[in-house]
């Protein structure tokens, strides 16, 4: 079996081993692949692995040997599932590998906003504490999370883990979810989506991107939030209207926005969030702890083994 990885750099920048995949066939790994190079590089592939390189209908149609597409992520919108299905190509993803890491990043953002550790660290590197007349100084609001209300939109593996951590911080947890109240832990209150935004001090997005929720968070919904509330997004950048979020930050209607994702990645230099006040932005790295990437690599190999044994797992259908 010829196995081709189109964009292996982000999964394995050099600190992991490809041995598990090398044991399954002849492996070729490209750090990244431009659109016009996909067909040339994948033409002999039986198994094609992609993270963010798009495999659309025209590309899939030019790959006669292709039998299996593995997405090196949970989200699979980079693959034209209908085109793959018509060709009888198996498509698999990697679910639940990054739950702990993404939940951790969600709270890294929230704690950065609540305690402003980076701000004070930078000030102290400049000597400000050394010049202080008192044993401490503050020039930002500091916020205790206990007693605050956390709203979660989407209660999959990550949303549930975020809810559990929020509870440990002493926060009240509300959630907009398709699950029934009976299916939820007793400490989570099922709430309508608009009410989650209206009632909570912190709202965290953990839902997949669909045609129905693109730009879910817009000016109208932001206006319903408590003034000064915090919005977190470690899910998909397209869930928010970025200009509307930047405008809400500028007026103080939104107290802070912590995000690990933007609508276009890498972002354009004029993305309004890059210059917005109180926008805390990390470059889509919540998934990228070594532990999570190692887990992803292992599940990827297991998926291919299962496919070769005619018992595919984690399959995605249109």
Q: Which residues are catalytic?
A: 236, 265, 284
Q: What are phi and psi of 259, to 5 degrees?
A: -140, 150
| Total residue count of the chain as it appears in this document | 318
Q: Are 16 and 294 in contact (CB under 8 A)?
A: yes
Q: Are 1 and 24 in contact (CB under 8 A)?
A: yes
Q: Are 102 and 160 in contact (CB under 8 A)?
A: no
* DSSP, res 79: B
Output b/e per residue, 184-214; b: 16+ Cβ within 10 A: beeebebbebeebbbbbbbbbbbbebeeebe
Q: CA 278, CA 255: separation in Å to the nearest integer?
A: 7
Q: Could you tell me which of 56, 53, 54, 48 has the C-alpha nearest to residue 84?
A: 56
Q: CA 297, CA 94: separation in Å to the nearest integer?
A: 9
Residue 36 tokens read as: 């016009």
Residue 67 tokens read as: 């039998």
Classify the C-alpha dihedral 256-260-264-269 as positive or negative: positive
Q: How far is CA 121 from the centre of its chain?
A: 27
Q: CA 167, CA 180: separation in Å to the nearest integer?
A: 19
Q: CA 247, CA 15: separation in Å to the nearest integer?
A: 40
The structure tokens 């992803």 sit at 296
């Amino acid at each position: 079996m010829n196995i081709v990885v189109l964009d292996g750099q982000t999964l394995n920048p050099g600190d992991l081993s490809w041995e598990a995949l090398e044991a399954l066939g002849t492996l070729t790994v490209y750090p990244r692949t431009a659109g016009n190079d996909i067909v040339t590089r994948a033409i002999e592939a039986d198994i094609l692995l992609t993270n963010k390189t798009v495999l659309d209908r025209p590309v899939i149609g030019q790959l006669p040997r292709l039998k299996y597409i593995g997405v090196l992520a949970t989200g699979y919108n980079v693959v034209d599932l209908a085109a793959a299905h018509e060709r009888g190509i198996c498509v698999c993803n990697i679910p639940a590998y990054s739950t702990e890491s993404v939940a951790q990043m969600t709270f890294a953002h929230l704690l950065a906003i609540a305690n402003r550790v980076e701000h004070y660290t930078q000030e102290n590197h400049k000597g400000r504490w050394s010049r202080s007349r008192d044993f401490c100084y503050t020039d930002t609001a500091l916020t205790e999370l206990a007693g605050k209300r956390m709203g979660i939109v989407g209660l999959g593996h990550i949303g549930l883990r975020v809810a559990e951590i929020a509870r440990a911080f002493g926060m009240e947890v509300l959630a907009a979810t398709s699950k029934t109240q009976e299916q939820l832990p007793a400490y989570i209150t099922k709430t309508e989506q608009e009410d989650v935004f209206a009632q909570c001090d912190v709202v965290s997005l953990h839902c997949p991107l669909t045609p129905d929720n693109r730009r879910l968070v817009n000016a109208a919904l932001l206006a319903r939030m408590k003034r000064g509330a915090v919005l977190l997004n470690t899910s998909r950048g397209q869930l928010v209207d970025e200009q509307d979020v930047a405008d809400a930050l500028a007026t103080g209607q939104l107290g802070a926005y912590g995000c690990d994702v933007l609508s276009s990645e890498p972002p354009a230099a004029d993305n309004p969030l890059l210059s917005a006040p109180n926008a805390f932005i990390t470059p889509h790295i919540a998934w990228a702890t070594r532990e999570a990437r190692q887990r992803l690599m292992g599940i990827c190999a297991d998926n291919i083994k299962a496919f070769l044994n005619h018992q595919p797992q984690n399959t995605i259908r249109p």
